[in-house]
Every structure is written in structure tokens, then in C-alpha cells.
Amino acid sequence: MRQNYSTYSDDKLIFILRSNNEESEAAFTEIYNRYSSKVHAYCLRVLNNLEEAEDIFQEVFIRFYQRVRADYPATNVPGFLIKIARNLCLNYKRDKMNTVSIEDNDVFVDSGKNYENSELLELITTALELIDFEYKEAFILREYDSLSYNEIAEICGITVTNAKSRVFRAKLKIKEILNPYLKDMANK
Amino acid sequence: MEYTKIIHDFIDGNLDAGQEQELFYNLSSSDELRTELKQQIAIKEAIKGDSRAFTPPASSTIGLFSSLGFNPPSSNVETTPVPGNSGLMNFLSKYRQGLIGGVIATMVTASLLFFFSNPFGKEENPIHNDFATSVQPKGTVAGQSNVPKIESYSNNEQVKVRYITKVRYIDVPRYVDKTYAEATESKQDETASNQLDNITKSRPWGILKPMLTSGGQERIYPDLTSVPQTNLLPSLFIPGNPLGMSVEFRGSQNWNMPSETIYPQKLSKFDNLALAVYYDFTPDFSAGLEVRQETFFQKFQGIKDGERYQYQQQPNFTSYGLNLRYILPFDMWGIEPFGQISGGFTSAGYIARGMAGLKYSPYKDISFILGGEYSRLEYKHQGSPYNANKFGLIYGVMFNF
């Protein structure tokens, strides 16, 4: 009978994944289903380039699988995944020069969504590119990945207070950049 | 800022009960506070709705799982009919546009060929009509059948059959060589076989076959195997023999190498279309000029304001070029392979191309081509050389006149 892996805890899934039997594939799939959206959101918003984000995103899960099979450090799964993603993204950004896409201004508008939200989202995405990376990353980890301040602090290697401060400062800067738009929105 | 911090903490769940109560009290009386709350909620909601960020593309999921040797999750399987063939699916997904274009072009070309070649209705075949009007020998009596009598060409039954097969496609008098005709007049008393030997020596490019008799006068016809194959074909639109000029309309589907990461905001109306005019210097070799509308994916670096940048763009170009085409001496079912090299330029730099393809000529005035082409654009930015490469599936039609 097929197991319902969605009820399993992360630890149990990791145990199955390491067991190297037929169930390990199902366990990996369940972990992927649980956390792929967060990892993808992190990669895409940190790199702000879909193609690069796709490459890093796949690499994150491949490395995760390899690490788990080899020697999984006892930690929480989403945090571990984001750490891998962060390392890969930082390495990638370090190796890569500043990139400016002259015509890369396509606006992604999901037809099923509120247009105003899409427009605001586009502005937020643009604003994220204009703020310092440390603030941007903290904001993404908090708002996109819903990590706690403790987790953010651990991933970024900073104190919890510092993590809170970075998230708040990021929000302030984003609001500052979006101020004209937000004012218009409030007056509607 | 104070309001921002309070609302931020409230959304974060960091306010205690007393602070929350105070906040609610102030909200009722402060427009500024309410506006702040609305704005922060709007930002949060917008991020929640970032489906692009939260949804890994199916292609990524399938690629990841296939690289691990796993079957992709069912949610992705639903969007991909053949999960087991993830490599194939990735390929199809990536080159979908080009493949569809190629298939459409092939279907259109096949339909045109089918239509023009008219495999049914033998009596209505234009080849036969052409035969009737072009091979009527001088001296044929009006009212008689236009089909030449076999016995009037030769006494040898085997040779007769051979001539009928070949002669009917062409306008015979055009291939009578003057030199040969004169030679024939001066040596009327020689036997037919002797004449053939002499003529063969005087025309190294072609062998003339025995005389055909018509109305008591000897007539000479060349060996049709020495004539360019296209000249043996009937015309569809343009009567008479081709002058050696061709106009070619070409379309293409292109794949940039490496793949583009950004796309043109607008494509030219005639994107990936080319117009070329060729002149046939020999039956095998032709040269032509072309103008084409196309894009190249450019990736180059530059320094601006002390910062080093990497630029990516895919602009529309109008390119001009000189083409040299050589048709290889192989002919299979009327399909001839050819190779082409081109040199040209755009506003950005120089272009070199290499192309290999097949040419099919159902009529002497119309041909179809299908091939693959590699293009390389050499350009400079701030003095540094760069290049952009692409591969194209080429399909087109030629009008020969």
C-alpha cells in the first residue's frame, strides 16, 4: 500500500531518504514538495534572473540529496536547504560580474491575479535590487521563506537582533523607494 | 518611522497585548497609521501573490528529478505527458517554437510539392502538354498527332525508346549546336556513326547522338544527359529556358548559441525572412546577394563610470550578404544537395555563414530548399572583439527565370 508521506516529519523523511531503499525516492519527492517553493523563491529573488535561478535551484536539491546520503548534519531541513541555496547564490554572485540586461524589462503578470498586486510586486522586485544585499537577503528570508528571526540569524551568521534590524531596514528602504506608488495607492 | 516600526512589529506578532490595544485605539483616530497599515499589508499580500517566485517551473522539476534518476512528482507529470522521457521533454519544451515552425514549413513545402507534382491524373500532367508543344518536328502535317512518330527518329527500336523518354521534356531545337550543324552539312555523305565520332571530339562537354530524320531532312539532337537536369523539366510559370537568374525567399527558425537569456522587446515584421537574388555562373555554381531581417543574441562586457558591466541584448538587424552556392553532383529523386558560404555585414559588424541543404526542383522555374545554417556575427564593443552565433533551420522557395 502506498504510504502517505505528507504526514511524516522532516526527520522521518530524512531517515527514509538515507535508508537507500525504494522509499527514498518518495521521501525526496515529499521534501521537494514541501520546500521547493521556498528555495525557488529565494533563488529567484536573490539572483533576480530566472535562468540563473533555475540552475541554482536544481543544484540546491542535488547537493541536498548528496549531502543527506553522505553525511546529513542534524539540523532543520528548510534551513539546511536555504543554507545550500545561499552558499550557491553567493558563490555565483561572487563569480559573476555586474550584469545589466538592457531589454530584460518584461513584466510578469499572472492573469489570474489582481493587476494592482502584480504591479506592486514588480515594483517590490525592482526595489529589492536597489537595496544592499544584506538587507535584501534578510527581507527575502523573512517575507518569502517565512523563516524565523532565529533561523535568519543562523543562516546569515548574525545575531537575532541584527536579523530583526535588517528585515526592518529592508522594509523601510523598500517603502521609501515605493513611496510615490504607495501614496497613490492609498489615495485611491 | 515610528508608525512603520509599530505596524511592522504588529504584523510580525511582536507586540504585547497592551501595545496592540494602544495600536487599535490609535488606528481609529489616525489616518497616517491606517495608511501605514494598509501599505504594509499590501506589500505582504503582493509578496504572497508572487506565484512566479513560489512556483518552480515544471521543466526545472523534471530536469532535477531526471538528473537524480527519479520520476518527477505527479503535479509535474500532469503537465508533461511523458515523464519518463524527461530529456526529450526538456528538448521539446526548449525548442518548441523552432520545432513547430519547422514542422509547419515542412508541411507547407510538402503540400506545395504534392500540388505541383500532381501525381494523379496522368493525362493532365503538364509534362505531357509541354512535350506535345515542344517536340513537334518540323514538317509535321497539321491535324496529325503532335506526338512524334517513333519510326521517324530511328530504325533502331531500342534507341527509339530511349529518345522518346528524353526528348519529350525539352524544346529540342535549342540544344542543336551550330558548330555541329555546320559540320553535319559538310559531311552529309558520311555515315551517321562517323558523324557522331567527329562531333564527340569537337564537343568535349557533350555527346551528340545520332541524327533524327524529319520530312526528309536530317536533324540532330544532343545527348540530353549533358544538359543541366533542371533544363529538362517543364515550366510552371515562366516559359522558355531559364536565363540563370533566381529570386529566393527564405524563412528560418533559429537557435542562439548559447541560448538567449533575454528576448527582443519587439521583433521586426519580417524577422527571420530573407530575400536573395542569384545568378548561375555554371549549372553547379551560383552567386547571389541577399538582404535579411534577423536577430543575434549578444553578450559583451564594457566599462562605464568605472564599473564593469556585462550587457545582454538581442536587437533586430538588417543584414546584407554575398552568397556563393555550389550544388553537389548528386541527384536522388530530383533532390540535389548543396553547400553555401556567405559573407555579409550589419550595422553591428560582419557576418559569416555556412549552409548545407537540399534543393528540390519539380519545375525548371521553381525550386524548394531546406537546410541548416550556421551564422556568426563578429562585432566590437569598446575595442574588444566579440561574437554571436546561431544555428538556423532554413526553408525557402526559388523562382528561376
Categorize the per-residue pLDDT at B97 as very low, low, confident or very high, splitting at 50, 70 and 90: low
Closest CA to B356 of B398, B327, B321: B327
At residue A25, the pLDDT reads 86
What integer is the mean pLDDT of B73-100? 54
Q: Which of B47, B266, B298, B384 to mutate to test the interface with A (most CBs of A within 10 A)?
A: B47
Amino acid sitting at position B107: M
Categorize the per-residue pLDDT at B94 as very low, low, confident or very high, splitting at 50, 70 and 90: low
At residue B394, the pLDDT reads 94
Distances, alpha carbon B398 to alpha carbons B16, B239, B240, B251, B361, in Å: 81, 16, 17, 12, 9
Give per-residue pLDDT as tens, B106-116.
Answer: 676 666 665 55
Mapped onto helix, strand or coil, the DSSP state of residue B145 is coil
* CB pairs A-B closer than 8 Å: 140
At residue B174, the pLDDT reads 41
Residue B116 near residue B236 (C-beta atoms within 8 A): yes
- Kindly determine whether residue B56 and residue A37, on different chains, have CB atoms separated by under 8 Å: yes
Amino acid sitting at position B35: T
CA distance A21 to A178: 52
Please give the torsion angle defined by the CA atoms of residues A81, A82, A88 and A92, in that order, rounded to the nearest 10 degrees: 150
Categorize the per-residue pLDDT at B82 as very low, low, confident or very high, splitting at 50, 70 and 90: very low
At residue A56, the pLDDT reads 92
B80 pLDDT more than 50: no
Helix (H) / strand (E) element for B53: namely: helix B51-54
Scan for cell 543544484, then name that residue: A59
Mapped onto helix, strand or coil, the DSSP state of residue B392 is strand
B374 pLDDT more than 90: yes
CA distance B271 to B253: 10
Closest CA to B283 of B339, B332, B328, B314: B328
At residue B3, the pLDDT reads 77
Closest CA to A162 of A183, A176, A141: A141
Q: Which chain B residues are Cβ-neighbours of A121 within 8 angstroms?
A: 46-47, 49-50
- Kindly determine whether residue A62 and residue B64, on different chains, have CB atoms separated by under 8 Å: yes
Q: Which of B43, B297, B316 to mutate to test the interface with A (most CBs of A within 10 A)?
A: B43
What integer is the mean pLDDT of B5-25? 88
Residue B371 near residue B357 (C-beta atoms within 8 A): yes
At residue B397, the pLDDT reads 92
Distances, alpha carbon B263 to alpha carbons B213, B274, B319, B367, in Å: 69, 21, 19, 34
Neighbours of A143 (CB within 10 A): 23
Considering only B44-58, B303-317, B379-393, which range has the smallest mean pLDDT? Answer: B303-317
At residue B170, the pLDDT reads 39
Mapped onto helix, strand or coil, the DSSP state of residue A49 is coil
Handedness of CA B76, B77, B78, B79 (dihedral sign): positive
Residue B66 near residue B84 (C-beta atoms within 8 A): no
- Grid coordinates given for B21: 490595544
Give per-residue pLDDT as tens, B316-370.
Answer: 899 999 999 999 887 777 788 999 999 999 988 999 999 999 998 887 788 899 9
% chain B with pLDDT above 70: 58
Closest CA to B225 of B71, B307, B98, B331: B331
At residue A166, the pLDDT reads 93
- Kindly determine whether residue A110 and residue B262, on different chains, have CB atoms separated by under 8 Å: no
Distances, alpha carbon A55 to alpha carbons A46, A52, A89, in Å: 13, 5, 10
Please give the torsion angle defined by the CA atoms of residues A26, A28, A33 and A38, in that order, rounded to the nearest 10 degrees: 180
Cis, bond preceding B258 (omega within 30 deg of 0): yes
Please check whether residue A45 touches B, CB under 8 A.
Answer: yes
Enumerate long-range contacts of A109-118, CB under 8 Å, 24 or more apart.
A110/B49, A110/B51, A110/B52, A113/B49, A113/B51, A114/B49, A116/A185, A117/B42, A117/B45, A117/B46, A117/B49, A118/B46, A118/B49
ipTM: 0.80
Mapped onto helix, strand or coil, the DSSP state of residue A140 is helix
- Kindly determine whether residue A168 and residue B262, on different chains, have CB atoms separated by under 8 Å: no
Helices first, then strands: H and E counts in chain B: 12, 12
CA distance A146 to A38: 8
Beta-carbon-side half-sphere exposure of residue B153 (alpha carbons within 13 Å): 23
Least CB–CB distance from A121: residue in B35, B50, B71: B50
- Grid coordinates given for B179: 558548330
Distances, alpha carbon B338 to alpha carbons B228, B335, B369, in Å: 15, 10, 9
Strand partners, B351: B344, B377
Residue B181 near residue B195 (C-beta atoms within 8 A): no
Mean pLDDT, chain B, whole residue set: 71
Q: CB neighbours of B313 closer than 8 A, spacing ≥ 6?
A: A101, A102, A103, B262, B297, B298
Nearest-5° angle of CA B146, CA B150, CA B156? 165
Considering only B133-137, B292-296, B397-401, which range has the smallest mean pLDDT? Answer: B133-137
Determine the angle formed by the axes of helices B31-48 and A160-187, rounding to 10 degrees: 110
| Helix, strand, coil distribution of chain B in percent, nearest 5 | 40, 30, 30
Please check whether residue A109 touches B, CB under 8 A.
Answer: no
Considering only B159-168, B270-279, B358-367, which range has the smallest mean pLDDT? Answer: B159-168
Amino acid sitting at position B86: S
At residue B361, the pLDDT reads 84
Handedness of CA B347, B255, B75, A44 (dihedral sign): negative
Categorize the per-residue pLDDT at B102 as very low, low, confident or very high, splitting at 50, 70 and 90: low
Least CB–CB distance from B54: residue in A41, A58, A105: A41
CA distance B345 to B352: 8
What part of A 120-139 touches B (C-beta under 8 Å)? 120-121, 124-125
- pLDDT profile of chain A (188 residues), mean per 10: 77 84 85 92 91 92 88 79 92 70 42 61 89 92 91 92 93 88 73
Q: Which of A121, A131, A181 to mutate to test the interface with B (most CBs of B within 10 A)?
A: A121
Residue B180 Cα to chain centre, angstroms? 43
What integer is the mean pLDDT of B239-254? 84
Pairing of strands B298-304, B212-214: unpaired
Strand partners, B371: B357, B394
DSSP 8-state secondary structure symbol assigned to residue B222: B
At residue B343, the pLDDT reads 95
Please check whether residue A32 touches B, CB under 8 A.
Answer: yes
